[in-house]
């Protein structure tokens, strides 16, 4: 029987592990299929306070893990495939093993949707990104491309004009899901060039280890061409990793956990942390902050119960 099981080993889960471990609760962290979370697929992180020269994403999240282990946190391989939150202790299945716990912190993140091109995955963190706030700064004076047709694509494109010499916005249709106000703002921005009815067929250059360009196709005319690009931003949404809790934890229509205040979910004793509940900020520091909040709530909750 565990005091607290933390689902996810990104910034949110690892920070919750540091706090609950230092509180003597011996947390168990389930790492998931993406150990270290989203930071483990990026390169330089320049906006996490405390690292004036920046730090590599995998190193940052590994440091958090080591820090938690130093205070007694345990880390377990595998993903949660099933959960029974109908009564306490809660029961969760990690691969083939059922585990019981008094409290649970869900820090399973929200995975970015990618276009789905083979080279795209190989170039994540090397010119391919899903986060303008995180990586826009690296493309000062460079050619930037944004893929998407919703509000977040418009927002990212507008934001990226602060850095890029030009921003090409690629969308596979000529109509947009984005709200009129966001679309109008993007259209009024002289640095944004719209490429509608257009899809990305390939990204170069895996051998060089950086993005140098893309192959594009107009879906109406079938015209194919190559275009130079330095930064390739995918803004087609995120998928919160909450499928295993469906019907038990309240979420919005997209699957983001609906907070009941602080780090509380609708199930007493189950708490949320990080991007799995956050469709607005989605940063390493906010995820870590949320992990801290969830841990403090767990400590107080268990203490009130006399554990
Ligand atoms: C390319 C890229 C670059 C970025 N750069 C920056 C940056 O420079 N600065 C910054 O502040 N932010 C950056 N971000 C954003 C930042 O990485 C996220 O905001 C942060 O990682 C969110 O932390 P999290 O712990 O909530 O979720 P995640 O990091 O997504 O971690 C989720 C964890 O949950 C686990 N998991 C999922 N499902 C299950 C399951 N069923 N069972 C068990 N475990 C599960 C996963 O394996 C993973 O370990 C970047 C993101 C990307 C994609």
CA distance 46 to 53: 7
State the pLDDT at residue 148. Answer: 96
**Could you identify the residue written with the tokens 């010119």?**
127
State the pLDDT at residue 44. Answer: 86
Q: Is the pLDDT of residue 25 over 90?
A: yes
**Residue 164, token pair as written in the block:** 């890029």
State the pLDDT at residue 42. Answer: 81
Q: Is the pLDDT of residue 43 over 90?
A: no
Q: Is the pLDDT of residue 157 over 90?
A: yes
CA distance 25 to 307: 9
User: 107 C-alpha to center of ligand 1: Å?
Assistant: 9
The response to whether residue 7 sits with its C-beta less than 6 Å from ligand 1 reads yes
pLDDT digits (tens, 9 = 90+) for 253-273: 999 999 999 999 999 999 999
User: 91 C-alpha to center of ligand 1: Å?
Assistant: 24
CA distance 184 to 38: 32
Q: Tell me the mean pLDDT in the region 237-264.
A: 96
Q: Tell me the mean pLDDT in the region 186-212.
A: 96
State the pLDDT at residue 190. Answer: 95
State the pLDDT at residue 194. Answer: 97
Give start and end residues of each alpha helix (H) in 85-239: 118-122, 132-135, 151-160, 180-188
Q: Is the pLDDT of residue 118 over 90?
A: no
User: 39 C-alpha to center of ligand 1: Å?
Assistant: 6
Q: Tell me the mean pLDDT in the region 186-194.
A: 96
Q: Is the pLDDT of residue 124 over 90?
A: yes
Q: Tell me the mean pLDDT in the region 95-118.
A: 95
Q: How confident is the model at residue 241 (pLDDT cuts 50, 70, 90)?
A: very high
State the pLDDT at residue 307. Answer: 84
Average pLDDT, the chain: 95
The response to whether residue 231 sits with its C-beta less than 6 Å from ligand 1 reads no
State the pLDDT at residue 209. Answer: 95
Q: Tell me the mean pLDDT in the region 279-293.
A: 95
Q: Cα separations (Å) of 212 from 126, 155, 230, 281? A: 10, 24, 5, 29
The response to whether residue 125 sits with its C-beta less than 6 Å from ligand 1 reads yes
Q: Tell me the mean pLDDT in the region 146-162.
A: 94
Q: Which percentage of the chain shows pLDDT scores above 90?
A: 92
The three-state secondary structure class of 55 is strand
Label residues 125-156 b or e (16+ Cβ within 10 Å = b): bbbbbbbbebbbeebeebbbbbbbbbbbbbbb
The response to whether residue 178 sits with its C-beta less than 6 Å from ligand 1 reads no
The response to whether residue 109 sits with its C-beta less than 6 Å from ligand 1 reads yes
pLDDT digits (tens, 9 = 90+) for 164-183: 999 999 999 999 999 999 99
135 part of the active site: yes
Q: Is the pLDDT of residue 136 over 90?
A: yes
User: 37 C-alpha to center of ligand 1: Å?
Assistant: 4
292 part of the active site: no
């Amino acid at each position: 029987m565990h005091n607290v099981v933390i689902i996810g080993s990104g910034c949110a889960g690892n920070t919750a592990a540091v706090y609950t471990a230092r509180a003597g609760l011996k947390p168990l962290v389930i790492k998931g299929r993406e150990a270290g979370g989203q930071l483990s697929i990026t390169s330089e992180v320049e906006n996490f306070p405390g690292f004036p020269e920046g730090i590599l994403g995998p190193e940052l999240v590994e440091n958090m893990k080591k820090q938690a282990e130093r205070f007694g946190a345990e880390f377990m391989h595998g993903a949660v495939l099933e959960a029974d939150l109908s009564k306490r202790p809660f029961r969760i299945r990690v691969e083939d093993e059922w585990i019981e716990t008094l409290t649970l912190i869900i820090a399973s993140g929200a995975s970015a949707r990618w276009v789905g091109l083979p080279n795209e995955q190989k170039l994540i963190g090397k010119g391919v990104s899903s986060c303008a706030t995180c990586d826009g700064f690296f493309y000062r004076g460079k050619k930037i491309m944004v893929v998407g047709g919703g509000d977040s694509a418009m927002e990212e494109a507008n934001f990226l004009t602060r850095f890029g010499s030009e921003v090409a916005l690629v969308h596979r249709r000529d109509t947009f899901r984005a709200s009129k106000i966001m679309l109008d703002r993007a259209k009024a921005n002289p640095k944004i060039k719209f490429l509608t009815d257009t899809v990305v067929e390939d990204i170069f250059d895996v051998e060089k280890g950086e993005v140098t360009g893309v192959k594009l196709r107009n879906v109406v005319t079938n015209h194919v061409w190559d275009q130079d690009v330095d930064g390739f931003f995918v803004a087609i949404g995120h998928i919160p990793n909450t499928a295993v809790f469906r019907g038990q934890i309240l979420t919005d229509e997209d699957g983001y956990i609906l907070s009941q205040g602080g780090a509380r979910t609708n199930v007493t004793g189950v708490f949320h942390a990080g991007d799995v509940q956050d469709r607005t900020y989605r940063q390493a520091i906010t995820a870590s902050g949320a992990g801290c909040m969830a841990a403090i709530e767990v400590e107080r909750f268990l203490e009130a119960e006399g554990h």
